Chain A
Amino acid sequence: MSESAAAAAELRRRWRWAAWVWLALVLALAAHQLQFWSAPKLDSDLLTLLPREQADPVLAAATERISDAATRSIVVVLSGPSWATTLSAAHAFVAALQTESAGLLPVGAAEHGAATLAFYRPYRDRLLTPSQRASLRQPDPAALADRALANLYGPGVTGGATAWQADPLALWPDWWQQRIGSGISERDGMASIAAAGSDWIILSYESPAAAFKFNGKAPIQRALDRASAQARALVPTVKILRAGVPLHAEAAAARANWEMNTIGLGSFLAVILLMWLAFRGLRPLALVALSLAIGWAAGVSVTALVFGKVHLLTLVFGASLVGVAEDYGIHYFASRQRHRDLGSHGLMYYLLPGLTLAFVTSALAYLALAAAPFPGLRQMAVFSTAGLMAAFATVACWFPWLDQRPRPISRFGNAIAASLQAWPRLPNRQRFTWLLAVALLVFTLLGLQRIQIHDDLRSLQKSPVALVRQQQQIDQLLGLPSPAQFYLVRGASVEQVLQREEALTAKLDQLVSQQQLKGYRATSDWVPSLARQHADAGLTAAAESSVLTKVSGVVGETITRPAFAATDLTLEDWLRQPLSAPFRSRWLGAVGTDWASVVMLNGVGPGADLGLLSAQAKTIPGVRWIDRTSDISRLLGHYRAMMAWLLVAGFAGVVLVLALRYRRLAWRALLPTAVAGVVTVAALAWLGEPFDLFSVLALLMLLGMGIDYGIFLLEHDGDGASWLAVCLGAASTLLAFGLLALSATPALRTFGLTLLFGIGLVWLLSPLFRPPPALSNAAIRSTPLPSQTNHEN
Chain B
Amino acid sequence: MSRAQRLIRAAMQTALLSISLVASAVAPTTDIRGRLADTPVLRGSFEQEKQLKGFRHSLQSSGDFLLARDRGVVWNTRKPFASSIVITKQHLLTTTGADGAQKRVAAAGSPGVGTAPTLMLALLTGDTVTLAEQFEIKPSELADGRWQLELLPRTGALKKAFRRIALQGDRNVETIRIEERSGDHTEIRFLDLRDTPAELDIAEAQQFE
Interface residues of A (CB under 8 A from B): 83-84, 107-114, 116-117, 142-143, 146-147, 149-150, 152-161, 163-165, 173, 176-177, 179-189, 191-192, 194, 202, 204, 554-557, 559, 578-579, 581-583
Nearest CB on B from A564, distance (A): 16
Would A185 and B108 count as touching, CB distance under 8 A?
Answer: no
Would A153 and B184 count as touching, CB distance under 8 A?
Answer: no
CB-defined A-B contacts under 8 Å, sample of 25: A84-B130, A114-B11, A116-B8, A117-B8, A150-B77, A152-B52, A152-B59, A155-B23, A158-B15, A159-B18, A159-B161, A160-B11, A160-B160, A160-B161, A161-B12, A161-B15, A163-B52, A180-B8, A180-B9, A183-B109, A185-B13, A186-B9, A186-B157, A188-B133, A581-B2
Contacts of A161 in B (CB 8 A): 11-12, 15
Q: What's the Cα separation between A159 and B81 when bound, in Å? A: 22
Q: What's the Cα separation between A559 and B23 when bound, in Å? A: 28
Q: What's the Cα separation between A159 and B184 when bound, in Å? A: 10
With CB as the reference atom, state the residue of chain B lying closest to A120: B8
Would B11 and A117 count as touching, CB distance under 8 A?
Answer: yes
Q: What's the Cα separation between A188 and B115 when bound, in Å? A: 10
Instruction: List the 8 closest pairs (A to B, CB-CB), nearest first.
Output: A113-B7, A159-B15, A185-B111, A582-B2, A146-B97, A146-B96, A186-B10, A150-B83
Q: What's the Cα separation between A619 and B18 when bound, in Å? A: 47
Would A555 and B160 count as touching, CB distance under 8 A?
Answer: no
Contacts of A554 in B (CB 8 A): 80-81
Interface residues of B (CB under 8 A from A): 1-16, 18-19, 21-23, 48, 50, 52-57, 59, 61, 75, 77, 80-81, 83, 85, 94, 96-97, 99, 101, 103, 107-112, 114-115, 118, 129-130, 133-134, 155-157, 160-161, 178, 180-182, 184, 186, 188
Contacts of B2 in A (CB 8 A): 107-108, 581-583
Would B97 and A181 count as touching, CB distance under 8 A?
Answer: no
**Contacts A142-B97, A146-B96, A194-B108 hold; do A177 and B12 have CB atoms under 8 A apart?**
yes
Q: What's the Cα separation between A83 and B119 when bound, in Å? A: 10
Would A157 and B180 count as touching, CB distance under 8 A?
Answer: yes
Would A84 and B129 count as touching, CB distance under 8 A?
Answer: yes
Contacts of B101 in A (CB 8 A): 143, 146-147
Contacts of B1 in A (CB 8 A): 108, 180-181, 184, 191, 202, 204
Nearest CB on A from B160, distance (A): 6
Q: What's the Cα separation between A192 and B119 when bound, in Å? A: 14
Q: What's the Cα separation between A187 and B113 when bound, in Å? A: 11
Contacts of B22 in A (CB 8 A): 155-157
**Contacts A159-B15, A185-B9 hold; do A177 and B110 have CB atoms under 8 A apart?**
yes
Q: What's the Cα separation between A444 and B1 when bound, in Å? A: 56
Would A578 and B85 count as touching, CB distance under 8 A?
Answer: no
**Contacts A143-B101, A149-B81 hold; do A110 and B59 have CB atoms under 8 A apart?**
no
With CB as the reference atom, state the residue of chain A lying closest to B110: A177
Q: What's the Cα separation between A191 and B1 when bound, in Å? A: 8
Nearest CB on A from B52, distance (A): 6
**Contacts A177-B112, A183-B114 hold; do A557 and B181 have CB atoms under 8 A apart?**
no
Would A164 and B52 count as touching, CB distance under 8 A?
Answer: yes
Contacts of B109 in A (CB 8 A): 182-183
Q: What's the Cα separation between A111 and B7 when bound, in Å? A: 7
Q: What's the Cα separation between A112 and B9 when bound, in Å? A: 11
Which residue from B16, B118, B157 sits with its C-beta under 8 Å from A83?
B118
Which residue from A84, A113, A143, A582 sits with its C-beta under 8 Å from B157?
A113
Would B111 and A184 count as touching, CB distance under 8 A?
Answer: yes
Q: What's the Cα separation between A390 and B180 when bound, in Å? A: 78
Q: What's the Cα separation between A585 and B198 when bound, in Å? A: 58
Would B53 and A557 count as touching, CB distance under 8 A?
Answer: no
With CB as the reference atom, state the residue of chain A lying closest to B122: A83
Contacts of A143 in B (CB 8 A): 96-97, 99, 101
Contacts of A155 in B (CB 8 A): 19, 22-23, 48, 75, 85, 188
Would A153 and B9 count as touching, CB distance under 8 A?
Answer: no
Nearest CB on A from B175, distance (A): 14
Nearest CB on A from B152, distance (A): 16
Q: What's the Cα separation between A156 and B178 when bound, in Å? A: 8
Contacts of B4 in A (CB 8 A): 112-113, 116, 578-579, 581-582
Contacts of B115 in A (CB 8 A): 185, 187, 192
Nearest CB on B from A474, distance (A): 12
Q: What's the Cα separation between A185 and B111 when bound, in Å? A: 5
Contacts of B112 in A (CB 8 A): 173, 177, 185
Q: What's the Cα separation between A142 and B103 when bound, in Å? A: 15
Contacts of B129 in A (CB 8 A): 84
With CB as the reference atom, state the residue of chain A lying closest to B185: A157
Which residue from B3, B75, B118 sits with its C-beta under 8 Å from A112?
B3
Q: What's the Cα separation between A158 and B16 when bound, in Å? A: 9
